[in-house]
Amino acid sequence: MHPIFTSIAIAGPETVLTLGSLAALMLGTFSGKGPKDSRALTVTSLFAVAILALAGFTLLDAPAGITRAFDGLYVADDFSAFLKVVILAASAASVLLALPWLQESGSGRFEYPVLLLLATLGMTMMVSANDLLTLYVGLELAALPSYVLAAFHRQDDRSAEAGLKYFVLGALASGILLYGVTLIYGFSGSTQLDVIAGVVSGQTERSIGLLFGIVFILAGLAFKVSAVPFHMWTPDVYEGAPTPVAAFFSAAPKAAALGLLARVMIVAFPGNIAGDWQQILIFIAIASMVLGAVAAVAQTNIKRLLAYSSIANIGFALVGLTPGTPAGISALLFYVTVYVAMTLGSFLVVLQLRRPDGSPVESMADFAGLSKTQPKLAAALAIFMFSLAGIPPLLGFWPKFAVFQAAIASGLIALALIGFVASVIAAFYYLRLIKIMYFDEPAPAPFGPLATEGSAVNGAMIAACALFCSPIGMLAISPLVAATARAAAALFPA
Amino acid sequence: MILSFMILLPVVAALVVATLPGGDEERAGRARVVALATTLVEFALGIWLWTQFDQSTAAFQFTENLPLFAPFLNWSLGIDGIALMLIELSVFLMPLCILASWVAVKKRVPEYMAAFLLMESLMIGTFAARDIFLFYLFFEGGLIPMFLIIGIWGGARRIYASYKFFLYTLLGSVLMLVAMLWMVNFAGTADIGELSKVDFPKEAQFWLFLAFFASFAVKMPMWPVHTWLPDAHVEAPTAGSVILAGVLLKLGGYGFIRFSLPMFPDASAQLIWLVFGLSMVAVVYTSLVALVQQDMKKLIAYSSVAHMAFVTGGLFALNTQGIEGAMVMMLSHGLVSGALFLCVGVIYDRLHTREIGRYGGLADTMPKYALVLLFFTMASVGLPATSGFVAEFLVLLGMYQTSTWATFVLTTGIILGAAYMLWLYARVAYGKAAGDDTRAMPDLDAREIAILVPIIIATLWMGIYPKSFQTPMKPAIAEVVARLEGRALATVPTDMSLSPAMPALAAPAAAQESHH
């Protein structure tokens, strides 16, 4: 068989997603009476979920070990497989959770699931990238549909502004990243990660050019994961973008970008130079944890709050990357998995709620007395908040535990101390939402009925996320950590 | 499996209570019954545990070990005598708390009962955990139900109090968690029994001790990090105060005896000046503060801080009498201050104020109540034949061997304690009633008597025949003392004659010592 066919077979999920997104585009065009026909949206959404599931199934019979394809541009290993499962699941959830909202808002165009499929394709490429060019292509493929999604509610000024802001800053970040890639290529002679690693570890003296390249790459990727000091776009985009899109942004792209960051740093820059990028990462992690915690205290908008929460959480996840050890990477993957469930769950609850006049809930004051009017949703949101705050025995405590355990095992005790103190500050604003829901009396006008269509599916997803984040989810620790440890080991050649 | 069962039963009951069917009234009624039944079963199990407990060994008993949550932590349980007695205290107070809230709590009864059941499960878990991270899980997990109990069912400033309680204790605890992670990384085991045998480097012990101290001192609470306690107590519902004073404050003392003393013996011996110093300040300062309180609950809260200073003083005497005294003090304080909060709850339910000035003359209008309050006032002061006396005597005896100075200052606490408690009693029970509504208050009813009489019996039992409570703890305490033996003590003034500033006092003290 021609090598190109072997390669395509190895890149199973990507192949399915590519063909599937094209098919979804056709399906959407021909299944409805016009671009605003909600039937087209429903059919395309369900088809997209099926495609995502199918892509997941192709991972099942992937060969064990590390398989390279497309002349080393692409790699399939346990690491990429694990992250792809997380990304595909988060994307599928993002498609489903948006359905009732889109149908209601009147901008129910079938392009939404198609764009999401394309973005997901980019993300799967990101975590499988074994070359700085594949990395860039994957990143852009994920980013371009995201810009459109942010502005999806195009009649709304805020949504359009969010899209534009995201696009301008994202393009800038991509430029910085690309400049870093050229520097790396110039000083190492290759764009392939393992070849760079060979050159880097052969060097006896520190190469300033390489270091600059690393800094630029880190800056570009920090923008993608919304780490401080490249986080400024996050609250504005979360606030302006339609809520389901914000939910999507907070989950799958974060997992993909963190995975990408981990692979580039661990595979391409091991050994002596690792100390240099660790310094930068420690700063980014601390800054993200502290700023995410402190800045969120003053927020009154739930979406902005969740945006700052995601910044802080990225900081905690990056703590797992700083030691550069298998235990740390394993903790990072564990963190990402649990974080995705917590944040998607929180957004799902927000999406379920409507003001009496039917407009979506955005202000935190709207949650007053929710425990009386909607006890189940309030309980679920309380679980997510306590979990995000990292209070045991909720599952959200254990990812923090894991990353700091890895940090302390590598002697980064000060980092762990600062991180835990930041988590106490962060606990304040998570508690505030619980206080509003449980301690305050309901506002005079109680919440109207829940979103009707599709809310059964969303309700089930909330229940699943809440169960996972509750103490019962601790039973998932053992299998999950076994999987993340296996995935992490793939980055460290024996 | 008995410990697992005792931990899981309240959780299951809490889930049942929270999801009961029916209307509001029906649900409330059923929730009360289910909660009371569960806590009574737990109490029965606790008694059975005591009868089955082998009092001759310091080893952990009723052990279980399941690698359920590997690699982070194991479901590893087991108790020694110290844990046993604190579990007994918890399961004893719990049904009384449920009864005390029977009519006082009217809103969201099922959720209230569920929160208390969760609390019980977490408390038992804290004392039964044998894996250091499992301990942390239960230790911290208790914050969530307590936060909700104060915040939802508390008084006017409940939100401020609940935040303060939560964030204060959380901040202390995360420092401890960092230390725990370091220790487990160093020793390669998370088993509390094995960690107690590891000799950590002396340099490290110092920092580890301080990290644990940050957590336990807040929980205890010790001066100057005690300020969350009066706020939390005043705003918590009666039963919340009972659990807070009765059991949650014991977590700090339990932490010291389970972790700080055996795991960092050198640092403990070196840092007794710190603990003694804070205890001395706490006893005098909080006793004086208690004297001027207008709010009954606040007064008892400050007296709790003073009593807890006796516990820390006794523990860091680093000898058998001191530690035993501290343990008895914890049990005694759990009973007595819990009962005092219940007594405040009784009259609060009638008049809806805790202001001392609004009462008076209760000895005439509520004779039974006055008698009960007098009993617990005396127990709090430490009258012989009550548990408080045994505790204070043992603590002072132990401390005297380590530092006569600290003993001297703590002894003044007994006098001050008598002052504020007796004055409180005089203002509430004697004199004239402050108003017609005060005079019209009915005396104790059958339910209230049923709550208070068991505590009276237990207090007398502990005061007259403390051996029943001390015997199970002896081997475990001996083990702790053995770990501490031969550690270099910090240079504290152990004898009053060392201080030239107080020659008049030095002579009798020295004479007493030689006599001793």
With contacts defined as CB-CB under 8 Å, which chain A residues touch B174? 420-421, 423-424
Q: Are A403 and A319 in contact (CB under 8 A)?
A: yes
Q: In this complex, is the C-beta atom of B12 within 8 Å of any C-beta atom belonging to chain A?
A: no
B221: number of Cβ within 10 Å:
27
Lowest mean pLDDT among A268-282, A434-448, B20-34: A434-448
A93-113 mean pLDDT: 82
A277-299 mean pLDDT: 90
SS3 content of chain A, % helix, strand, coil (to 5): 75, 5, 20
* Per-residue pLDDT at A255 exceeds 90: yes
The model's pLDDT over B272-284, given as tens digits with 9 standing for 90+, comes to 888 888 999 989 9
Residue A224's pLDDT is 87
Residue B213: closest CA among B161, B283, B264, B165: B264
CB contact under 8 A, A435 and B67: no
More confident residue, A455 or B104: B104
Query: In the A/B pair of chains, how many CB contacts fall below 8 A?
Result: 86
* Separation of CA A131 from chain center: 21
Strand, helix or coil for residue B77 = strand
Residue A137, C-beta contacts closer than 8 angstroms, at least 6 positions apart: A125
* Per-residue pLDDT at A311 exceeds 80: yes
* Per-residue pLDDT at B95 exceeds 60: yes
Q: Please compute Rg for chain B using Cα positions.
A: 22
Q: Please compute Rg for chain A using Cα positions.
A: 22
Q: In this complex, is the C-beta atom of B8 within 8 Å of any C-beta atom belonging to chain A?
A: no
φ and ψ at B192, to 5 degrees?
-65, -40
**How confident is the prediction for chain B on average, in pLDDT?**
86
Pairing of the two strands B73-79 and B61-69: antiparallel
Q: Between A391, A402, A420, which is nearest B144 by CB?
A: A391
* Separation of CA B86 from chain center: 9
Confidence band for B484, pLDDT divided at 50, 70 and 90? confident
Residue A398's pLDDT is 92
Q: What is the pTM of this model?
A: 0.90
Residue A207's pLDDT is 80
Residue A298's pLDDT is 85
Confidence band for A451, pLDDT divided at 50, 70 and 90? very low
With contacts defined as CB-CB under 8 Å, which chain B residues touch A398? 72
Residue A153's pLDDT is 82
B355: number of Cβ within 10 Å:
11
Buried b (16+ CB within 10 A) or exposed e, B443-480: ebeeebeebbebbbebbeebbeebeebbebbbbbbebb
Q: Which chain B residue lies closest to A429 (C-alpha atoms)?
A: B163
Residue B506's pLDDT is 38
**How confident is the prediction for chain A on average, in pLDDT?**
87
In the 8-state DSSP scheme, what is residue B502? -
The model's pLDDT over B186-204, given as tens digits with 9 standing for 90+, comes to 988 888 888 888 888 888 8
CB contact under 8 A, B178 and A435: no
* Per-residue pLDDT at A473 exceeds 50: yes
Q: Between B67, B174, B185, which is nearest A424 by CB?
A: B174
Q: Between A393, A420, A428, which is nearest B141 by CB?
A: A393
Residue A107's pLDDT is 64
Report the gap between the CA of B396 and the closest CA in chain A (Å). Answer: 38
Residue B25's pLDDT is 82
In the 8-state DSSP scheme, what is residue A271? G
Q: Are A40 and A32 in contact (CB under 8 A)?
A: yes
The model's pLDDT over B223-264, given as tens digits with 9 standing for 90+, comes to 888 888 888 888 888 888 888 888 888 888 999 999 988 899
Q: CA-to-CA distance for B177 and B13, rounded, in angstroms?
A: 30
* Cα-based distances in Å from A418 to A95, A296, A482, B193: 37, 17, 28, 30
Residue B508's pLDDT is 41
Chain B window 121-180: which residues touch A at a Cβ cutoff of 8 Å?
A: 133, 136-138, 140-141, 143-144, 147-148, 151-152, 158-159, 162-163, 166-167, 170-171, 174-175, 177-178
B306-313 mean pLDDT: 90
* Per-residue pLDDT at B1 exceeds 50: yes
Q: Are A88 and A56 in contact (CB under 8 A)?
A: yes
The residue to which tokens 């690792």 are assigned: A274
* Per-residue pLDDT at A141 exceeds 90: yes
Q: What angle do CA A134, A139, A142 make, to 5 degrees?
A: 125
**CB half-sphere exposure, B252, CA atoms < 13 A:** 31
Report the gap between the CA of A36 and the closest CA in chain B (Å). Answer: 43
* Cα-based distances in Å from A205 to A195, A200, A210, A217: 18, 10, 11, 21
Residue B361: closest CA among B439, B293, B445, B442: B439
Residue B382: closest CA among B476, B270, B297, B462: B462
CB contact under 8 A, B136 and A392: yes
Q: Are B482 and B63 in contact (CB under 8 A)?
A: no
Residue A375's pLDDT is 83
Report the gap between the CA of B272 and the closest CA in chain A (Å). Answer: 25
Residue A411 has which token pair?
């002697």
Residue B493's pLDDT is 55
Q: CA-to-CA distance for B158 and B164, rounded, in angstroms?
A: 10
CB contact under 8 A, B72 and A438: no
Residue A353, C-beta contacts closer than 8 angstroms, at least 6 positions apart: A360, A361, A366, A367, A370, A374, A377, A447, A450
% of chain B exceeding 70 in pLDDT: 95
Buried b (16+ CB within 10 A) or exposed e, A460-470: ebbeebbbbbb
Q: What angle do CA B429, B158, B142 make, to 5 degrees?
A: 100
Q: CA-to-CA distance for A377 and A458, rounded, in angstroms?
A: 11
The residue to which tokens 């990028």 are assigned: A277
Q: Are B348 and B298 in contact (CB under 8 A)?
A: no
Q: Are A114 and A98 in contact (CB under 8 A)?
A: no
DSSP for B263-330, please give it. Answer: HSHHHHHHTHHHHHHHHHHHHHHHHHHHHT-SBHHHHHHHHHHHHHHHHHHHHTT-SHHHHHHHHHHH
Residue A441 has which token pair?
């009396």
Q: Between A404, A413, A435, which is nearest B151 by CB?
A: A435
Q: Are A250 and A310 in contact (CB under 8 A)?
A: yes
The model's pLDDT over B355-403, given as tens digits with 9 standing for 90+, comes to 888 888 888 888 888 999 999 999 998 888 888 889 999 999 988 888 8
Q: What angle do CA B89, B92, B95 make, to 5 degrees?
A: 140
- Which residues, listed in sequence order, are joined to residue A363 by a DSSP beta bridge? A301
Residue B180's pLDDT is 92
Q: Are B450 and B99 in contact (CB under 8 A)?
A: yes
* Separation of CA B431 from chain center: 33
Confidence band for B500, pLDDT divided at 50, 70 and 90? very low
Q: Between A405, A413, A478, which is nearest B70 by CB?
A: A478
Residue A80 has which token pair?
């990429």
* Per-residue pLDDT at A45 exceeds 50: yes
Residue B167: closest CA among B207, B225, B112, B120: B225
CB contact under 8 A, B174 and A421: yes
Residue A62's pLDDT is 72
Confidence band for B104, pLDDT divided at 50, 70 and 90? confident
Q: Between B140, B141, B148, which is nearest A438 by CB?
A: B148
* Per-residue pLDDT at B501 exceeds 50: no
Q: In this complex, is the C-beta atom of A405 within 8 Å of any C-beta atom belonging to chain B?
A: yes
Residue B67's pLDDT is 86
Q: CA-to-CA distance for A351 and B46, rounded, in angstroms?
A: 46
How many angstroms separate the most distant Cα atoms in chain A?
A: 71
The model's pLDDT over A365-388, given as tens digits with 9 standing for 90+, comes to 888 888 888 888 888 999 999 999
* Per-residue pLDDT at B513 exceeds 60: no
Q: In this complex, is the C-beta atom of A380 within 8 Å of any C-beta atom belonging to chain B?
A: no
Q: CA-to-CA distance for A303 and B375, rounded, in angstroms?
A: 57
With contacts defined as CB-CB under 8 Å, which chain A residues touch B182? 408, 413
- Helix (H), strand (E) at residue B55: none
Residue B91's pLDDT is 92
- Which residues, listed in sequence order, are joined to residue B275 by a DSSP beta bridge? none
Residue A91: closest CA among A160, A20, A36, A35: A20
Residue B454 has which token pair?
């068991």
Confidence band for B492, pLDDT divided at 50, 70 and 90? low
Q: Between B72, B147, B171, which is nearest A424 by CB?
A: B171
Crossing angle of helices A233-240 and A157-188, rounded to 10°: 140
Q: CA-to-CA distance for B296 and B293, rounded, in angstroms?
A: 7
Residue A36's pLDDT is 62
Q: Are B129 and B192 in contact (CB under 8 A)?
A: yes
CB contact under 8 A, A478 and B158: no
* Per-residue pLDDT at A35 exceeds 70: no
Residue B269's pLDDT is 86
Residue A79: closest CA among A90, A95, A92, A64: A64
Strand, helix or coil for residue B372 = helix
Residue B507's pLDDT is 39
Buried b (16+ CB within 10 A) or exposed e, B83-112: bbbbbbbbbbbbbbbbbbbeeebeebbbbb
Confidence band for B510, pLDDT divided at 50, 70 and 90? very low
Q: Are B469 and B324 in contact (CB under 8 A)?
A: no
* Per-residue pLDDT at B64 exceeds 70: yes
The residue to which tokens 């202390």 are assigned: B172
- Which residues, listed in sequence order, are joined to residue A67 by a DSSP beta bridge? A76
Q: Are B55 and B472 in contact (CB under 8 A)?
A: yes
More confident residue, A61 or A431: A431
% of chain A exceeding 90 in pLDDT: 41
A177-191 mean pLDDT: 91
Q: CA-to-CA distance for A189 and A182, rounded, in angstroms?
A: 10
More confident residue, B186 or A361: B186
* Per-residue pLDDT at A465 exceeds 80: yes
CB contact under 8 A, B175 and A478: no
**CB half-sphere exposure, A434, CA atoms < 13 A:** 26
With contacts defined as CB-CB under 8 Å, which chain B residues touch A397? 137, 140
Lowest mean pLDDT among A250-254, A329-333, B502-506: B502-506
